[in-house]
Amino acid sequence: MVEHVIKIDRERCIGCGMCKKDCAAHNIEMRNGMPYVITDDCIQCGHCVAVCPKEAISIGGYEEALPVQTKETRLDPAQVLDVIRFRRTVRQFQDKAVPAEVLEQILEAGRLTHTAKNLRDVSFVVLDKEKDKFEGMAVKLFRRIKPFAGLFSSMVRRNQVDDHFFFFHAPLVIVIVAKDRTNGVLAAQNMEFVAEAGGLGVLFSGFFASAVNVSNKIKKALGIPKGKKAAAVLVLGYPKVKYHRAVPREKIDVKYL
Ligand SMILES: Cc1cc2nc3c(=O)[nH]c(=O)nc-3n(C[C@H](O)[C@H](O)[C@H](O)COP(=O)(O)O)c2cc1C
């Protein structure tokens, strides 16, 4: 692991104290009007770097140049709501590959998604050439356990586990791996938004995630280390189906206390 150390450039620092004020870890103190980092043992969320008006704080050990926000990006709430309202799980895909640059943007959304305590425990396995092999492993597993699962669920009894039960002939699958499931799921949701903005349809495959998490063989073949799990699985491709309207949903269940 590369060590990341927070550095303050005293030539640039104007002692405004913004870094101390915004530090969630209370890890910066002011001495004689200048900020000092108390310990390197902090969550390294980077707020001190982002908030400094003079670019006086950096965290060492990273390669990327940090983009500067020159204008605020604001989405139209009504448009965002429509995106959520009209998105559907897609299970019919065109026989068309996802371009590398589109995949890159989707992965970037995952990389940039926040994690609890800035744990950064989320990683990704892209199934492209080996997709069918992994789907085959999961199909084999599900066919074995189906008679037992079918005892408890009529939906399981009705479902045929055919050769494409998990991925529906989609060209691309991303397994989102994490220690903390919530961190992985947040990344997955942001990735779905970017995928849809790029014209793709998406399916969250809970079935494939379960197959991975119950089978050490599949986990090992995917290279998922001990202590991590498949938090979510995104199945992606260009849709071969068009939805014309929203679908009915129950009224909101909300309490105001
Ligand atoms: C976490 C999660 C896991 C899911 N897993 C599967 C799955 O394995 N197979 C499948 O066909 N659909 C799966 N779905 C899709 C749901 O069935 C779908 O979201 C729901 O029926 C509502 O339809 P809509 O997404 O089109 O609004 C999953 C959805 C979520 C949120």
- The DSSP 8-state label assigned to residue 237 in this structure reads E
Measured CA to CA in angstroms, residue 143 lies from 16, 147, 154, 160, 180 at distances of: 64, 8, 15, 9, 29
The one-letter code for the residue type at 121 is D
> Which atom, in ligand 1's list, is nearest to the CA of 208?
8
pLDDT at 146: 82
Q: Would you say the CB of residue 204 lies under 6 angstroms from ligand 1?
A: yes
Is residue 15 within 8 A of residue 7, CB to CB? The reply is no
> Which atom, in ligand 1's list, is nearest to the CA of 209?
8
Q: Name the CATH architecture for the domain at 77-237.
A: 3-Layer(aba) Sandwich (3.40)
Query: Closest by alpha carbon to 128, among 173, 162, 177?
Result: 173
Classified as helix, coil or strand, 6 is: strand
- Exposed, middle or buried, 233 (CB in 10 Å: 0-12/13-18/19+)? buried
pLDDT at 105: 98
Measured CA to CA in angstroms, residue 84 lies from 26, 190, 192, 206 at distances of: 37, 12, 11, 20
Q: Would you say the CB of residue 89 lies under 6 angstroms from ligand 1?
A: yes
Q: What is the CATH number of domain 6-59?
A: 3.30.70.20
Residues 6 or more apart in contact with residue 10 via CB below 8 angstroms: 34, 56
| CA 226 centroid distance within chain | 20
Which residue, judged by its Cα, is nearest atom 31 of ligand 1? 204
pLDDT at 1: 64
Which residue, judged by its Cα, is nearest atom 27 of ligand 1? 88
Q: How far apart are CA 44 and CA 207, in angstroms?
A: 35
Residue stretches of the chain with pLDDT short of 50: none
Residue intervals of the chain classified under CATH 3.40.109.10 are 77-237
Which residue, judged by its Cα, is nearest atom 20 of ligand 1? 89
Q: Would you say the CB of residue 205 lies under 6 angstroms from ligand 1?
A: yes
